Structure 1
Amino acid sequence: MPRRVALATCRALPEGDADDRALPAALAAQGIEATWEIWDDDTVNWLAFDLVLIRSPWDYTDKRDAFIAWAHAVPRIANPADVLAWNTDKRYLADLAQAGLPVVPTRFIAPGEPVEDRALDGEVVVKPAVSAGARGTGRFTDSGEARGHIAALHAEGATAMVQPYVPSVDDEGETGLVYLGGEFSHAFRKGPILTGEGVAPLIDPLGGVPAAAAMFAEENITARTADAAQRATADWVLLYVRERFGPLAYARIDLVPGPDGSPLLMEAELTEPSLYLWLAAGAGDRLARAVAASL
């Protein structure tokens, strides 16, 4: 009997994202039968699968509690449910900073908490602590406008996070490092999304029809070679996560250059990141082997 893996997605993307189109064939080459399944479809028998691989359940941000409860109820899931619970709230960045890792300075402001003037000094980025794909993310130089966005997030019951805007992103973009089965696979450059003040524009490929694919700001992705400092920083982040939660099937570490040029962690994407497998020869096969190892 072939081993069976469910590729978890959302209703708007019943056959997953284009980034993963080659994954079922790569898994088949490992003797694994893979099917796309909608994570909150009550008719799916998750016990019928040897593993559930999180790929594109991009609507979870609107129902995070239900998503985490589902993840804990699934018998075998990658990445592990405890990692998903930790990583889907960006307050995890405070844990990494406290551990001494180089993180972009971040303040978290929960509903009802005062907003200190110093938190809004200079140019800042404001976003909800639970979000994906730049949803609800704004770039501001006017502290009054930043306060207004924080108030709007609080009105929705969201904790706001405030970071200084990193100017180097305008020229250098972000560097994402992809790890598959705990091993470095490839890197990419993501161009700046917040190219001006205000909240990031969202793409809407379906002409106004609500869809998970329309929840994300448009991205410019190209291949990039990670340097030694970026590799070391990403390795340190992965070491922290592995020692706290155990091994991961996949991870994406997004870095930006700090004021002195050294890498700073923007995000550790451990839940449902686009891995841009098409950028690197053999990346899909590496992910398939990581899945096979998880089995």
Structure 2
Amino acid sequence: MQVALVTYPAQPDLSSDDRLLARGLEARGVSAVPVVWQDASVAWTEFDLVLLRSTWDYHLHLDAFLHWVDVVGEATRLWNPPSIIHWNARKTYLDDLRSQGISVVPTHWLASGNVVDLALVLQETGWERVVLKPVVSASAWNTCLVHREATADGQQLLDRLLPSTDFMIQPYRSTVELDGELSLIFVGGTFGHAVVKTPRRGDFRSQEDFGGRIEATTAPTGAPEVAERCLAAVPGETLYARVDLLGNPHDGYEVVELELIEPSLFLEHGPGTVSRLLQAIVQRLAP
């Protein structure tokens, strides 16, 4: 049996998380191979299962990536499945979650091709500080924090990209500075472990690339239930998932993102989750 752990050109080798997976699969008699998704020489039919892992440039090549997903999905078993990838690629899925009664950070959508006065939008919404980012994005790409009294940088970003790129605006939740962003990791729809991601002082981005701190944590009361409702709203079966939440047990939780394409799963902080993920992969390799 052979499994492809899919990467991207800037990082063709496996991440530390995925090295854990590869070692675990090898120990179970399954060969695990890192493969760049854009590599045209790869015969995907040679793999018994293809697992999306660090395809962290998909948002820069969305049409090509989704076409590749469909091709691979026809050739072999792809996880998560193509239908899930298509649904999750645009953050408009947040509206689907909201329509099912799930608490989601409020979002104002800006369609590409329009001319938008950002200061006017903030005045109309009443939001003092907002996070501005593309509807298709990852790793805080072209994402900025904008204050109602200082919109120049955000306006320049919109003037440059909105002609061809859909954008979204969400109110900034300052609780992230104190409580961090809570990430809950699931395997096969079952909760595995949780981490809290805290931005470095003076920044709003919780990713490690920007100095964010990642720490294992016990899932607070109420958080797993919100995350489970998210997964129940997904239109299909998932092998892996990460639900990012803001809030606390007292005030409740809001969904920031539901990551089903190439999320960091922080497996180093959840050894039990590693075992469950390995078991789930092996089960999906069965004829």
Would you say same fold, with TM above 0.5?
yes
2:136 alignment partner in structure 1: 130
CA distance in 2, matches of 1:201, 1:236: 24
Instruction: Supply the AA of the counterpart residue of 2:165.
Output: A
CA distance in 1, matches of 2:25, 2:13: 15
| Structure 2 counterpart of 1:234, from 212, 220, 227 | 227
CA distance in 2, matches of 1:152, 1:230: 38
CA distance in 2, matches of 1:202, 1:163: 18
How far off its partner does 1:289 sit?
Answer: 1.0
Q: Would you say 1:151 and 2:159 are equivalent positions? A: yes
CA distance in 2, matches of 1:183, 1:108: 32
CA distance in 1, matches of 2:89, 2:201: 22
- Per the alignment, in what secondary structure is the counterpart of residue 69 of structure 2? helix
Determine if contact 1:135/1:202 at 8 Å carries over to the other structure.
no
2:87 alignment partner in structure 1: 86
How far off its partner does 1:258 sit?
Answer: 7.1
Q: Would you say 1:277 and 2:275 are equivalent positions? A: no
How far off its partner does 1:219 sit?
Answer: 2.6
Counterparts in 2 of 1:120 and 1:147: CA distance versus 1, 3 Å: farther
Determine if contact 2:222/2:252 at 8 Å carries over to the other structure.
yes
Q: Would you say 1:186 and 2:193 are equivalent positions? A: yes
CA distance in 1, matches of 2:125, 2:19: 43
1:210 alignment partner in structure 2: none
Determine if contact 1:254/1:267 at 8 Å carries over to the other structure.
yes
Instruction: Supply the AA of the counterpart residue of 1:222.
Output: E
Q: Would you say 1:219 and 2:215 are equivalent positions? A: no
- Per the alignment, in what secondary structure is the counterpart of residue 210 of structure 2? coil
Of all paired residues, the percent bearing the same amino acid is: 37
Counterparts in 2 of 1:195 and 1:259: CA distance versus 1, 3 Å: farther
What value does the CA root-mean-square deviation take over the aligned residues?
A: 2.2
1:252 alignment partner in structure 2: 242
CA distance in 2, matches of 1:261, 1:59: 35
Structure 2, unaligned stretches of length 5 or more? none
Counterparts in 2 of 1:82 and 1:57: CA distance versus 1, 3 Å: same
CA distance in 2, matches of 1:249, 1:188: 19
How far off its partner does 1:183 sit?
Answer: 1.3
TM-score norm. by structure 1 comes to 0.87
CA distance in 1, matches of 2:201, 2:112: 25
Q: Would you say 1:161 and 2:168 are equivalent positions? A: yes
Give the length in aligned residue pairs: 275
- Per the alignment, in what secondary structure is the counterpart of residue 228 of structure 1? coil
TM-score norm. by structure 2 comes to 0.89
1:174 alignment partner in structure 2: 181
Determine if contact 2:179/2:248 at 8 Å carries over to the other structure.
no
Instruction: Supply the AA of the counterpart residue of 1:92.
Output: Y
| Structure 2 counterpart of 1:59, from 45, 57, 62 | 57
2:277 alignment partner in structure 1: 287
Instruction: Supply the AA of the counterpart residue of 1:72.
Output: D
Counterparts in 2 of 1:118 and 1:259: CA distance versus 1, 3 Å: farther
Determine if contact 1:258/1:264 at 8 Å carries over to the other structure.
no
Q: Would you say 1:21 and 2:8 are equivalent positions? A: no
Instruction: Supply the AA of the counterpart residue of 1:105.
Output: P
Counterparts in 2 of 1:52 and 1:111: CA distance versus 1, 3 Å: same
| Structure 2 counterpart of 1:267, from 244, 247, 257 | 257
CA distance in 2, matches of 1:153, 1:194: 29
How far off its partner does 1:202 sit?
Answer: 9.1
Counterparts in 2 of 1:218 and 1:130: CA distance versus 1, 3 Å: farther
Counterparts in 2 of 1:78 and 1:193: CA distance versus 1, 3 Å: farther
1:37 alignment partner in structure 2: 35
